[in-house]
Structure 1
Amino acid sequence: MADLPAATEAVVVAFPHAGGSGAAYRGWQRALGPRIALLAVTHPGHTGRFTEPLLETCEELADEVAPRLIARPGLPLVLFGHSMGSLVAFEVARRLEQRYGISPAHLFASGSPGPGRPARATASYRLPDDRLIGWLEEMGGCDEAIARDRELMAFLLPVLRADLRVGESYRPWTGSGVSCPVTALTGAQDPSVTPAENLAWQEATGAAFRQRVFPGGHFFLHEDAAHDVVATVLRTAEDSYRLPTEHKELTS
């Protein structure tokens, strides 16, 4: 784990959507304040790590991240993932609990069906470039100026395809879930996941669960609901260090 400010009371670890990087959470640190540190994950092969090979499965991505989060086991960890990032965050939480005996304080699963549900899309990563770009625009993940920059898209599309394959090849979870509380977030107009599909995250935890449905599409957390989403994460992170008994090492 990177060096953290001395005033840090809790850590929010944010996992990006398919094709994204830690830059998706630019601006969150200011909103979270000085006591909550933000670790925005950028996976190998993505912006800032382009020289590293892309990883091919959720499990590989989680294996790469989880060991980096145990250097400060006394600090509560709040995991936040959006879309594909929800699955990676879930797998990281499972590894922290099962391998290292550390239970995250909370898991936020945003813009994703529960991990026990198969992906609705199949082989979207094999779409021709024009159709894939059109799909990305429809989802709100790319503005028109970027989509029309063919040179830039030729650079970005292989990363997006690799991430889509990661999400679509994730085998529906059937094993043990997590013991930490889970909050599922979704956009009411998200074309890729319904609130009912997002509600299935309650099957992944034996602890407290709640769902919040925000106005907006798949990227609601970067739209009008952005302030409310960050405020929800902030309140949860503050509770995690004000109520330290909720964050503890698991006992066998």
Structure 2
Amino acid sequence: MIGLHLARIMKKEYDYTPKMCIFGGCRPLHRWGFPMSYYKEDDNEMIQSMVDCGGMTKEMAKDKLLVSSVLAGIKMDHLCMDRYVFNEKAEKLKAPLWLIGGLDDPRSPPEQLPEWDRYTTCSIQIKTFPGGHFFLKEKEADVLAWLGKVIEE
């Protein structure tokens, strides 16, 4: 969501269009189900849901200092998503999009990634990796190798 809007602002304010945008682990904005209300969850429920989806290990969840340092940011991230208003008429990007996702991601199913074509006048490319919502962490070396190749090309 932030990357898409940043690219739009860069075009509007500075007449700058990125050469490409790469979005990972995010379903198309028109597919978001609102309200999500994750930020309203009890802290322990939120931590457990993060463990369940692979965003935090059980050991990390026991570290009170770590949890207290990340929980506020995660709640604000979820609050922003919850208050997001999709604008079907917003200007499309004039840059190609690369969409990357986890093959088993329940929050951003790979079959929805082609729908990102609604946000650009250019082409989209899709690359999936084994893993779930946190495929970036699960397949970090593979993602970085792929990313280096894409940027080099």
Residues 114 and 197, structure 1, Cα contact 8 Å, conserved in 2: yes
Distance 1:104 1:117 in 2: 24
**Structure 1 residue ranges without an equivalent (≥5):** 1-86, 240-252
1:127 to 18, 37, 41: 41
- What's the offset of the Cα at 1:91? 0.9
Distance 1:88 1:119 in 2: 17
Report the count of equivalent residues: 152
TM norm structure 2: 0.89
**Map of 1:219 onto structure 2:** 134
Amino acid in the other structure paired with 1:181: P
Distance 1:173 1:196 in 2: 22
- Secondary structure (helix, strand or coil) at the match of 1:207 reads coil
User: Quick one: higher RCO (CA 8 Å, sep 6+), 1 or 2?
Assistant: 2
Distance 1:126 1:166 in 2: 12
Query: Could you give the per-residue CA deviations for residues 114-166 of structure 1, whole angstroms, max 9, x where no partner exists?
Result: 12333466101101111101111112111111201234323321221111111
TM norm structure 1: 0.56
Query: Could you give the per-residue CA deviations for residues 44-69 of structure 1, whole angstroms, max 9, x where no partner exists?
Result: xxxxxxxxxxxxxxxxxxxxxxxxxx
2:151 to 218, 237, 247: 237
**Map of 1:148 onto structure 2:** 62
Amino acid in the other structure paired with 2:66: L
Amino acid in the other structure paired with 1:216: G
**Map of 2:112 onto structure 1:** 197
Amino acid in the other structure paired with 2:42: P
- Secondary structure (helix, strand or coil) at the match of 2:118 reads helix
**Map of 1:188 onto structure 2:** 103
2:87 to 170, 173, 177: 173
Query: Could you give the per-residue CA deviations for residues 155-194 of structure 1, whole angstroms, max 9, x where no partner exists?
Result: 3212211111112222223211210000111111112121
**Structure 2 residue ranges without an equivalent (≥5):** none
- What's the offset of the Cα at 1:236? 2.6
Structure with a larger share of its residues in helix: 2
Residues 114 and 124, structure 2, Cα contact 8 Å, conserved in 1: no
CA RMSD of aligned residues (A): 1.7
Identity of aligned residues (%): 24
Residues 140 and 218, structure 1, Cα contact 8 Å, conserved in 2: yes
**Map of 2:53 onto structure 1:** 139
